[in-house]
Chains A and B, each alone.
Chain A
Amino acid sequence: MPVPATQVPRNLDIDRLLSHHRLMWRIRAFEEAALQANTEKLVLGAIHPSIGQEAIAVGVCCNLNRDDILSSTHRGHGHTLAKGADATAMMRELLGREGGTSHGKGGSMHIADFEVGMLGANGVVAANIHITAGAAHAIRLRGENRVACSIFGDGAINRGPFLEGLNWAKVFELPALFVCEDNGFASTTRTAAMTGGPGPAARAEALGVPAVEVDGNDVMAVDEAAREAVAAIRAGGGPRFIVAKTYRLTGHTAADAAPYRPKDEVDEAWRHEPIARLAQVLADAGVKGAVLAGHERDAREEMDAVYADAKAAPWPPLSRGYEDVQDAGDPRQGAF
């Protein structure tokens, strides 16, 4: 992996970058708390940490408004936090507790917060692509100036919804932003080994969707690409595509030690992880180390408290298991 050089713009918006740094640390600390919960066997199903990919969640979502739509993948904690969801409700959901975003009925892979336009993580790879195209379709039918954004992994580009969803967004010229978080792995297999042709950007371009590739570990680059894409979409320019190159610093799931990757590759990737890179930029710009360390400390304190709260939270009452199935033929009416 070549060493990417962070492109430092001349006029740094320090406040914006500090905000990014704070949020990236919140995501990192949330994921670390989730891993701790997994170690303590309090997360029961699979969780898919996004450690190392925080810059994409932050750089994209900081360009979305609260009423813009976001959909995500099984690796969606960071995206959901960056869209503004409540960390306490999210951690409760990971632990399957009452007060979780889905009352403990969805877990990590179905985190959603419709209040902040987060239409759900999805347990099926690529399924969120055409759901997002449809959300953009609804936005257009309703004549609103909103954007629908889908973030998915590089594995998704080999599923049909990538073709069908991008084509759909293009033929209807919908206000949709597609972001491919290219971490190099489709589950535990190198995506390149299973992917024909020159990759995601070329595929999108072939469908008429303008695409850009960015260094996904450089939050400023992601922010800039997303800003331009969202502006073009809001101006009526139709869908846009961003490929953000990154590296998944953990295994596919918390249970995956990822023995299929050489240690030196992972060590090298850690040297380019996005939070440290941003911290370096900020330090070079004169931000004091104590400020940056404070972000980390605050984030860890917050997520420690969030985890403690989730551990203490009760299980959902059994009645939840029969709620929100359907109106007609509702199982609570003895229809089963």
Chain B
Amino acid sequence: MATMTYGEAGKQALAEEMRRDPLVWAVGEDLGRGGVFGQYKGLVEEFGPLRISDAPISEAAILGAAVGAAMTGTRPVVEMRFADFALCAVDELINQAAKARFMFGGQARVPLVVREPMGMWRSSAAQHSQSLEGWYTHIPGLVVVCPSTPADNKGLLKAAIRSDDPVVYFEHKNMWALEGEVPDGDVTVPFGVARTAREGRDLTIVSWSATVHAATKAAETLAGEGIEAEVIDLRTLWPWDREAVFASVAKTGRLMVAHEAVQVGGFGAEVAATVAEHCFKDLKAPVKRLGSPRVPIAYAPPLEDMLRVTPEKIAEAARAVVSES
């Protein structure tokens, strides 16, 4: 075990995979200078500018070229800089990368990782703050990953690079400096296996990405009040670990889903609906969702803070769920 940051863990994952496989390469704006968040710092010195490649500010070409390069036998890791900017390359990801294998009858594989730094961070306002992970779960063909810890950022990025599917990989900008223990050696984390961040018997809180930490903090507060919340970190949204959620709900009888994304149409709705379909008899209380109101993210700190799914809001909602039964 070594202690490192979330950002460092991602860098180490990429470096290890590039050492292991000469067909892995990374491309995006400013990568030669270490990337906009420093998550590529030092890599160009080791791997050279062909494999840690700068790119013009042409998101559609970055992603479109990566699709062509992936179909031609390489494994590109694409840096989108901000998840919001990946919207300039929606055709390339949704119509091309996600569909090529199917619509060409299995002739194509698109082993591509699209890194999309997501979420609210330092008053970045409406075009640099979004959490759009739920959108991508709607698209057949894509894998959607949302790591919440340094260990998972390393293990899941390695798994994403080795995957033959196109993977949309969301790193939360607020966690770059988050420190944690990371296992030594070549450790990957499989897709579709949730992590129990905290055990509890009274309520299941399902979350992912940075909101896992808010949920864990809320659970600590609730524990002081005699409510034991189980926090499940999905880690990957497609595929997602339904069995782990079902098992937890069977134990606790109560479900809450918390995420930073807009609540309406968020992935929490999918989790809630699936539990309602499969675990109705286990439920002692109505399922609760907690996400952002359906408004754009504002610049001014009080307006931004107003939208956050905080430990306080999670704890308050959890108390209400528990008191309903």
Binding site for B on A (CB under 8 A): 69, 71, 100-106, 110, 112-114, 119-120, 122-124, 127, 129-142, 148, 160-161, 164-165, 167-168, 171-172, 323-329, 331, 335
A124 to B65, CA, bound (A): 15
B101 partner, pick from A100, A134, A324, beta carbons under 8 A:
A324
A157 to chain B, nearest CB (A): 15
For the complex, is B96 an interface residue (Cβ under 8 Å from A)? yes
Contact with A along B51-74 (1 / 0, CB 8 A): 101011010110011111111111
> Nearest A residue to B140 by beta-carbon distance?
A325
Give the residues in chain B near A323, CB-CB below 8 Å.
102, 106
Q: Which residues B146-200 have CB closer than 8 A to chain A?
A: 163-165, 191-192
Contact with A along B101-143 (1 / 0, CB 8 A): 1111111100000000000000000000000000000001111
> Nearest B residue to A335 by beta-carbon distance?
B239
A141 to B27, CA, bound (A): 12
B165 partner, pick from A114, A141, A327, beta carbons under 8 A:
A327
- Asked whether A131 lies within 8 Å of B67 as measured between CB atoms, the reply is yes
B122 to chain A, nearest CB (A): 30
- Asked if A328 meets B239 with Cβ closer than 8 Å, knowing A124-B91, A130-B92, A131-B68, the reply is yes
For the complex, is B23 an interface residue (Cβ under 8 Å from A)? yes
For the complex, is B95 an interface residue (Cβ under 8 Å from A)? yes
- Asked whether B92 lies within 8 Å of A327 as measured between CB atoms, the reply is no
- Asked if A113 meets B68 with Cβ closer than 8 Å, knowing A325-B141, A326-B141, the reply is no
* Nearest 4 interchain pairs by C-beta: A134-B68, A102-B105, A134-B65, A130-B64
- Asked whether A324 lies within 8 Å of B140 as measured between CB atoms, the reply is no
Binding site for A on B (CB under 8 A): 23, 25, 50-51, 53, 55-56, 58, 60-61, 64-74, 76, 91-92, 95-96, 100-108, 140-143, 163-165, 191-192, 236, 238-239
B51, B95, B105, B142: which has the most chain A beta carbons within 10 Å? B105
**Consensus secondary structure, chain B interface:** mixed
- Asked if A106 meets B239 with Cβ closer than 8 Å, knowing A141-B69, A161-B64, the reply is no
A133, A141, A148: which has the most chain B beta carbons within 10 Å? A141
* 17 residue pairs from A and B, CB less than 8 Å apart: A101-B104, A102-B107, A105-B102, A114-B71, A119-B71, A123-B95, A124-B91, A131-B67, A131-B71, A133-B61, A135-B71, A138-B74, A141-B25, A161-B60, A161-B64, A325-B140, A335-B192
A66 to chain B, nearest CB (A): 14
Give the residues in chain B near A324, CB-CB below 8 Å.
101-102, 105-106
B128 to chain A, nearest CB (A): 21
A101 partner, pick from B105, B192, B239, beta carbons under 8 A:
B105
- Asked if A327 meets B103 with Cβ closer than 8 Å, knowing A160-B60, A165-B61, the reply is no
- Asked whether A325 lies within 8 Å of B102 as measured between CB atoms, the reply is yes
Give the residues in chain A near B50, CB-CB below 8 Å.
140-141
- Asked whether B72 lies within 8 Å of A134 as measured between CB atoms, the reply is yes
Give the residues in chain A near B58, CB-CB below 8 Å.
164, 167-168
- Asked whether A114 lies within 8 Å of B104 as measured between CB atoms, the reply is yes
B101, B104, B106: which has the most chain A beta carbons within 10 Å? B104
- The total number of A-B Cβ pairs within 8 Å is 161
A133 to B104, CA, bound (A): 19
A133 to B95, CA, bound (A): 17
> Nearest B residue to A316 by beta-carbon distance?
B105
- Asked whether B104 lies within 8 Å of A110 as measured between CB atoms, the reply is yes
Give the residues in chain A near B102, CB-CB below 8 Å.
105, 323-325
- Asked whether B64 lies within 8 Å of A134 as measured between CB atoms, the reply is yes
Given A101-B105, A142-B73: 7 more A-B contacts, CB < 8 Å: A101-B107, A105-B102, A134-B69, A164-B58, A324-B105, A326-B142, A328-B143
A168 partner, pick from B56, B73, B76, B100, beta carbons under 8 A:
B56
Give the residues in chain B near A112, CB-CB below 8 Å.
104-105, 107-108
- Asked if A127 meets B91 with Cβ closer than 8 Å, knowing A134-B72, A161-B64, A326-B140, the reply is yes
- Asked whether B100 lies within 8 Å of A120 as measured between CB atoms, the reply is yes
Give the residues in chain B near A326, CB-CB below 8 Å.
101, 140-143, 165
> Nearest A residue to B53 by beta-carbon distance?
A172
Give the residues in chain A near B143, CB-CB below 8 Å.
326, 328-329
Give the residues in chain A near B53, CB-CB below 8 Å.
172
- Asked whether B64 lies within 8 Å of A131 as measured between CB atoms, the reply is yes
- Asked if A110 meets B103 with Cβ closer than 8 Å, knowing A138-B69, A139-B72, the reply is yes
- Asked if A161 meets B61 with Cβ closer than 8 Å, knowing A102-B103, A171-B56, A329-B192, the reply is yes
- Asked whether A328 lies within 8 Å of B192 as measured between CB atoms, the reply is yes
Give the residues in chain A near B55, CB-CB below 8 Å.
168
A137 to B64, CA, bound (A): 11
> Nearest B residue to A326 by beta-carbon distance?
B165
> Nearest B residue to A174 by beta-carbon distance?
B65
- Asked if A100 meets B68 with Cβ closer than 8 Å, knowing A167-B58, A325-B141, the reply is no
- Asked whether B105 lies within 8 Å of A100 as measured between CB atoms, the reply is yes
A161 to B25, CA, bound (A): 22
- Asked whether B69 lies within 8 Å of A168 as measured between CB atoms, the reply is no
A164 partner, pick from B60, B69, B76, B107, beta carbons under 8 A:
B60
